[in-house]
Amino acid sequence: MTSRAARWALALILVYGALLRIDRLLSNPDFNHPDSLRHFLAAEDIHLKEPSSWFAVYRGYLPYALYNRVLFGLTSHRPEIQRFGTVLLSVGLIGIVGWCARKRCGDWGGVFAAYLVASSPILIASSDSGIREDLYACLWVLLFDQLFHLPAGNRRAWGHGIRVGGLAMLVFLTRVDACLALGVMGGLALISRSEWREPERVFPALAVFFLLLLVVLPANWMRKKDPFYFVDKDKKTFRYWANLEFKGRPGFPSIEEVDNNLRVGEPISAWTYFGSILGWEETARRFGRGYLHFLVKNFMTGVYRLDALPNQVGIVGLLTMLGIALEFYRRRWELPLAPFVLLAGTIWTYNIPGGRDLRFYQAAIPFAVLLATTAACQMMQWILSLKGKWLRIPLLSLLPVLVVANPWNHDLKTSFPWRVGPTSDPIQLAGRFPLEFGPSLRLKGYELRRIGPLGLWTIPSEEIAPGQRFLLRLFWSCRKEIPEAGEYHAFLEQDGLGRFGMMRPFPLIGKFPVNHWPRGLHIVDEIEYLVYKGVPAGTTRIRVGVQGAGLPGALEHELTVFTLKKKSGIFFP
């Protein structure tokens, strides 16, 4: 009876989670995440009659591109179908986490874990984005389960090894920068599970992994003349000195490093930056600081900021920390370490303010849920073991409160406050706008906003203190199709200092080229600035320039002027 009731509860939770995610899709059908456009092009580049195209996919998008290509073949080639496919993956993640928790904590533990995933604001907010993170999270949870929940007996060892090898390759091809995390996780499995020292289990896993790799490498060579075309090589080269907006992130340049180098420098490799410029001791310190911020500011509070508001500390965060303590007490290291291992390749890009890079550590959320479920089930056992109804009944009566209230205790809009992408209607703004950038591009207007705690916007006339940020929103329209690629830059400018601030190409962080804009499209783009102590006081201008896009030369327009105060406070006129 209990098992049947748990299955019905799980089914209702799946429906509940699906409705929450589909509602986001239907409420904004025209939205396109900047990264989803690249995923769409990668899937469209796969051709049924060209087998090499099945494995030669740009930027390590292979598994997700194949998934999208199947959806397109079954339905139609539209971005909305790709977003719907992500919704399906997000709903699937609910079932996968519930299934894994059920094996660890029983039927109702699985139900509890599924409910936490279904109601997670972060997972709901990203469920309709049309990017690979939900698939990546699903694959990691499945791989973790197969690595540390081994079937009994040696008769299934070969099949188990094959599954692990296949899942590991899918994780690797989904995000190539997961190779470090895969190595560390494999080492943990080797140390903590003696079964992985058996040849009949480990050899099939390695054989399948490298056999699949030997299929991918020749296919990339045959199609692109580069066996490592699927590797995201762009991430190995960074214009560190040009991107001042990165300076709130552990691992990125400090103000002194920026001041001592050119404003627009030559690309350097990550190996050169970390190994030669910083040195490995300083690099280790910055990576450690990134992990500390992740633990204290986010993971400890259910992926929220601890210092934002007292009511942001959710039940999930408290249970997660208790789960970590319980697992360490039981000397089971793999689950508490898993979220931090998953971030091994991306922790240096971790950003605290605004939640903009939550996708980099979205895969850690299911493991926080598993830890919270472990703690909740242990607490339930303690409650039921208490003698006397006068103790058990009040504690058990708290359960309905957990079901009715949001256990994450978090407002959805504060997690992902920015929805960047095409809009269905033009934006009407007064003033001297629109500004024309040739016969095709038109800037219809702009908006300046200060960014407060948790990414909340505030009115633009407030003062900005050192270390805080402001947001520039640009409203573009495409008057006619643009024949060639182009880019625009938005930057700050001061007399005597020159240009500073954001210098990287746009639109949409370079992920939606203007020559892909159809006639009549309306775009909202957002550029984030950080006010830092090294900028002197004075009159500061914001300018936007366009280069290429059918223009004979570069064209610039000034948007507005504001005063930068001595204490790095900004007052908008």
Alpha-carbon distance of 11 to 115, in angstroms, equals 11
Residue-level pLDDT at 326: 92
Asked if residues 180 and 145 have their Cβ atoms less than 8 Å apart, the reply is no
Alpha-carbon distance of 165 to 454, in angstroms, equals 40
DSSP helix/strand/coil, 197: helix
Residue-level pLDDT at 14: 94
Alpha-carbon distance of 376 to 396, in angstroms, equals 12
In the chain, the N- to C-terminal Cα span, in Å, equals 68
Which one, of 447, 436, 470, 444, lies nearest residue 557 by Cα?
A: 436
Helix (H) or strand (E) holding 448: strand 441-451
Integer Rg of the chain from CA: 25
Which one, of 195, 267, 264, lies nearest residue 236 by Cα?
A: 267
**From residue 437, how far is each of 229, 422, 542, 552, 557 by CA, in Å?**
36, 19, 16, 11, 9
Q: Residue 499: left if φ>0, alpha if ψ -120 to 50, beta else—which one?
A: beta
**From residue 114, how far is each of 14, 364, 432 by CA, in Å?**
8, 15, 53
Alpha-carbon distance of 14 to 365, in angstroms, equals 18
DSSP helix/strand/coil, 245: helix
Alpha-carbon distance of 153 to 519, in angstroms, equals 63
In tens digits, the chain (573 residues) has pLDDT values of 468 888 898 999 999 999 888 887 887 676 667 677 777 877 877 887 777 777 877 766 788 888 888 888 888 888 888 889 999 999 999 999 999 999 988 888 899 999 989 988 778 878 888 888 899 999 999 999 999 987 765 667 788 889 999 999 999 988 887 888 899 899 999 998 888 888 888 899 999 999 988 888 888 888 877 777 777 655 444 444 434 334 444 444 555 555 555 434 455 566 666 677 667 887 777 777 777 766 665 555 444 443 333 334 567 777 888 888 999 998 888 999 888 888 776 665 544 333 345 566 688 889 989 998 999 888 888 887 877 766 677 767 666 666 555 566 544 333 333 333 333 333 344 456 677 777 777 888 777 766 544 344 454 544 555 555 666 777 878 777 776 666 666 767 766 656 665 544 455 544 556 666 777 777 777 666 665 555 666 666 777 777 665 555 556 666 665 555 444 333 332
Measured in degrees and rounded to the nearest 5, phi and psi for residue 136 equal -60, -45
| 499 CB-near residues (< 8 Å, 6+ apart) | 263, 491, 492, 493
Which one, of 118, 120, 204, 200, lies nearest residue 169 by Cα?
A: 204
3-state secondary structure 308-367: CCHHHCCHHHHHHHHHHHHHHHCCCCHHHHHHHHHCCCCHHHCCCHHHCCHHHHHHHHHH
Asked if residues 247 and 504 have their Cβ atoms less than 8 Å apart, the reply is no
The full set of domain ranges for the chain reads 2-231+279-404, 421-571
For residue 316, give both structure tokens: 């999930």
Strands (E), 99-255: 237-238
> What's the pLDDT tens digit per position in 233-270?
554 444 444 343 344 444 445 555 555 554 344 555 66
Query: Secondary structure of the chain: what % helix, strand, coil (to 5)?
Result: 55, 15, 30
Taking CB atoms within 8 Å and a gap of at least 24, the contacts of 280-283 are: 283/251
Alpha-carbon distance of 274 to 137, in angstroms, equals 28
Alpha-carbon distance of 62 to 65, in angstroms, equals 5
Alpha-carbon distance of 127 to 135, in angstroms, equals 10
**From residue 467, how far is each of 386, 501, 570 by CA, in Å?**
51, 14, 12
For residue 168, give both structure tokens: 């590991």
| 43 CB-near residues (< 8 Å, 6+ apart) | 61, 64, 65, 66, 68, 69, 72, 82
Residue-level pLDDT at 155: 63
Alpha-carbon distance of 74 to 399, in angstroms, equals 43
To which residue do tokens 């504690």 refer? 395
Residue 305: Cβ-neighbour burial (10 angstroms; 0-12, 13-18, 19+): buried
Residue 177: Cβ-neighbour burial (10 angstroms; 0-12, 13-18, 19+): middle
Tell me 454's DSSP state. G
Structurally, at CATH architecture level, domain 421-571 sits in Sandwich (2.60)
Distance of CA 262 to the CA centre of its chain: 30
Residue-level pLDDT at 28: 67
For the chain, what is the total number of helices (H) and then of strands (E)?
18, 13
Alpha-carbon distance of 189 to 308, in angstroms, equals 37
